[in-house]
Amino acid sequence: MSTVKTVKYQVGTDGTSSNNFTIYQPDPPDGTMRIGVGNADNPTEVGQFNANGYKPAANTVPVFEVFKGDADQTVSSATQTKVIFSNVDYDLTSDWDATNNRFQPSVAGYYQFNTQIYVGGTITRKILFLRKNGTQNKILQDFATSRVISRESLGTIFYLNGSTDYVEVYIYLTGSLDVLYSTDGSSTYLNGYLIQQA
C-alpha cells in the first residue's frame, strides 16, 4: 500500500485554465477537499467536500429575499402594477436588479419562487402575477367582496437561462387600495433559490 501526499492535483492540461480543474486541500489541511476551476497554481474554488458532504463555495448558489419595507405603494384600480420591493434581506449572488425591480440570475437552472402580497382598502377583485420575461406565467385570482385587508401568496418553479431571463411580481386590484409594507418584511415579499443548475 502506498500513500501519495500532495497539496494540489490538476485534472486537465488544456491551455485555457477555465477548462481545467484542480482538486486540493488548503495548506495546512483543515479536513476538507476543495474543487477548483483552473490550473493547480491558481484555482478558483467552486465547492468542497467535508465530513458532512458536499458544500458549494460561498455565494455561488443564487438565494435571495426582498421585501416592501419603507412605505405603502398606491395601486391604481383596474391596472396591472409592478410590486416594488424596496429592501433586500439577502441576495447571495447579487442577482436582484433594484433598478428594474426584478430577479435576473447569472446561473442557468430551475428556480423556486414564493411571494406574498399584503393589501388594504376596499378590495372587490385582485389578481397576483409571477411573471417571467414580462409574461403572465403564474396567476392567483381572487374575487373579494369589499375586504379591508387581505394577504395572498403564490409560488412556482421557473427555468431561467442565466442571462436574459428575469422574474417580477405584478398585482391587479379593483377598489381603493394600497400594497402594504412591514418593517421586518413579513407581509409583502418575494424570495427564491436555485433548485437545480442546468
* Nearest of 45, 42, 20 to residue 33 by alpha carbon: 45
Residue type, 190: L
CATH fit for domain 63-197, picks 2.60.120.40, 2.40.340.10, 3.40.50.300, 2.40.50.100: 2.60.120.40
Position 143 pLDDT exceeds 90? no
Tell me, what's the pLDDT at 144?
Answer: 66
Helix-strand-coil percent breakdown of the chain, rounded to 5? 0, 55, 40
Domain boundaries, the chain: 8-56, 63-197
> How confident is the prediction for the chain on average, in pLDDT?
90
pLDDT tier for residue 165 given thresholds of 50, 70 and 90: very high
Segment 113-135, tens digit of pLDDT: 999 999 888 888 889 999 999 99
Annotate 76-120 with DSSP letters as a single string.
-TTEEEEPP--EEEEETT--EETTTTEE--SS-EEEEEEEEEEEE
Whether the CB-CB separation of 92 and 64 falls below 8 Å is answered with: yes
Q: Which of 85-89, 158-162, 175-179 bottoms out in mean pLDDT, i.e. has the lowest?
A: 175-179
CB 41 within 8 A of CB 22: no
What pLDDT, in 10s, does the model give residues 167-179? 999 999 888 778 8
Torsion angle of the four alpha carbons 85, 86, 90, 94, in this order, in degrees rounded to the nearest 10: 90
Grade residue 5 by pLDDT with cuts at 50, 70 and 90: low
Using DSSP bridges, classify how beta strands 21-24 and 33-37 pair: parallel, antiparallel or unpaired: antiparallel
> Which of 98-132 are b and which e, b meaning 16 or more Cβ less than 10 Å from the residue's Cβ?
eeebbbbbebebebebebbbbbbbebbebbbbbbb
